[in-house]
Amino acid sequence: MERIVVVGAGQAAGWAVSTLRQEGFQGEIHVVSNEHQIFYERPPLSKQVLSKEASYDSLNLFSPEQIDAFSVQWHKPDLATQIDRDHKQVILESGKILPYDKLLIATGSRARVPVNTWKNISNVVTLRDVQDCERLANLLETAKSIAIIGGGWIGLEIAATARKQGKQVHVFEYAERLCGRSVSPEVSEFLKEIHEQQGTKVHLNSKNLHLIESLDQTVQVLNHPETAETFDCVVVGAGAEIAKELGVSAGLAVKDGIVVNCYGQTSDVDIYAAGDVAIHPVLGYCIQSWANAQNQAIAAAKSMLGVATEYSDIPWLWSDQYQFNIQILGTYQAQSNPKLIIRQSSPAQLSYLYLDEHNRLMNLIAVNDAKLVKLAKRWIQNSTILDPKLLADPEFNVMKLKP
């Protein structure tokens, strides 16, 4: 009987397993996971679950009945430590050896902590999984003040959640603007404004941070040469480290993440990778987003079964902060000097559209405008030539601009 081994049990792994069964794969599926909770999505961890508006169970991708029907052989909690490509087997920390016909690496990424010693400070935490969320939620029950190191999406979402709970919040960002790796300077400024309006103190250019634990477990954040303040807890939201080590040690082609083609196949024809750990086959770097993990995994699972399915989705991710649902479509490329159109329909609904020299949409940041995102996806897919004047006119119904 054919056997597929999946390493990881997050968003990508869950969708891969579900797809394998939906496509009629009758062989054995073995899943290795170093986490207890399996097949769950992470976005609510910094939003509704952290604020206790949703339960941990709501994270599950599938019902217990669906998971039973997948008929998976579980290896958890266990860690895949090595891939022996010559013998087509995966070696686990427990000593188990799992032979495979096809292997999917869906190991995702981990929270990055820029200074190793910070990991030893009691009230300094990160947010990647359910346990991290439980720990942070516990700290927030009593904390009055919180420092967030990193002004990226996760850091800002935690800032919003903590402010809504009435905490005193400071965000320390290394770069000169917020979310600088994924959005334009104008959007960074918008983000800064909404957080400052809510009372969060944003410290940009915080390049020299030191954390000092006090006897009462509060943490002093020295932001040299600017400030020194004490906080009840510190969250490090300083990006992610791609969990690519299995690919590296197995000698697969690896860059930022594991290199895959549009079918999710690595440089070894029997090994696939999907989700945060795999590069985007068109863009050439890792896209760490929910939709990417799901759709790249679905395509890889079908391709594993011989139904060659291309994955080349336009990057899309969202973030929820206060009353704002922010969706990002496409990528911002400063070097191509894009033309900016701002479309503001109401104080709470606005969009930043970046067009190339032919007036084709390259990147959209839509605030509280999900309908526009749907339409814009088709504009990008079809390279639709747009009229900047019409886009900027809030009275004009953009739905008339057919892709």
Ligand X SMILES: Cc1cc2nc3c(=O)[nH]c(=O)nc-3n(C[C@H](O)[C@H](O)[C@H](O)COP(=O)(O)OP(=O)(O)OC[C@H]3O[C@@H](n4cnc5c(N)ncnc54)[C@H](O)[C@@H]3O)c2cc1C
Summarize as ranges the residues that interact with ligand X (CB under 6 A): 7-13, 32-35, 42-43, 45-46, 79-80, 106-109, 127-128, 154, 243, 246, 275-277, 288-291, 293, 317-319
Q: In terms of DSSP H, where are the helices of 222-364?
A: 245-249, 290-304
CB of 361 to ligand X, least distance (A): 20
CB of 358 to ligand X, least distance (A): 29
Considering only CA atoms, which of 100, 124, 118 is closest in space to residue 32? 100
Phi, psi of 43 (to 5 degrees): -50, -40
3-class secondary structure, 306: coil
Q: Which is nearer to ligand X, 317 or 392 (CB)?
A: 317
Q: Which is nearer to ligand X, 204 or 317 (CB)?
A: 317
Q: Which is nearer to ligand X, 43 or 180 (CB)?
A: 43
CB of 126 to ligand X, least distance (A): 9
CB of 3 to ligand X, least distance (A): 17
Q: Say if CB 343 and CB 394 are below 8 A apart.
A: yes
Q: Which is nearer to ligand X, 127 or 391 (CB)?
A: 127
Q: What is the dihedral of CA 163, 166, 171, 177, to 10 degrees?
A: 40
CB of 266 to ligand X, least distance (A): 15
Q: Which is nearer to ligand X, 318 or 396 (CB)?
A: 318
Q: Which is nearer to ligand X, 127 or 353 (CB)?
A: 127
CB of 346 to ligand X, least distance (A): 23
Q: How far apart are CA 202 and CA 181, in angstroms?
A: 17
Which DSSP string corresponds to 224-245? TTTEEEEESEEEE---EEE--H
CB of 224 to ligand X, least distance (A): 29
Chain centroid to CA 212: 29
Q: How is residue 46 annotated by DSSP?
A: G
Burial grade of 349 (CB within 10 A; 0-12, 13-18, 19 or more): middle
Amino acid residing at 316 = W
What order do you get walking across the sheet with 349-355 strand by strand? 316-321, 324-330, 361-367, 349-355, 339-346
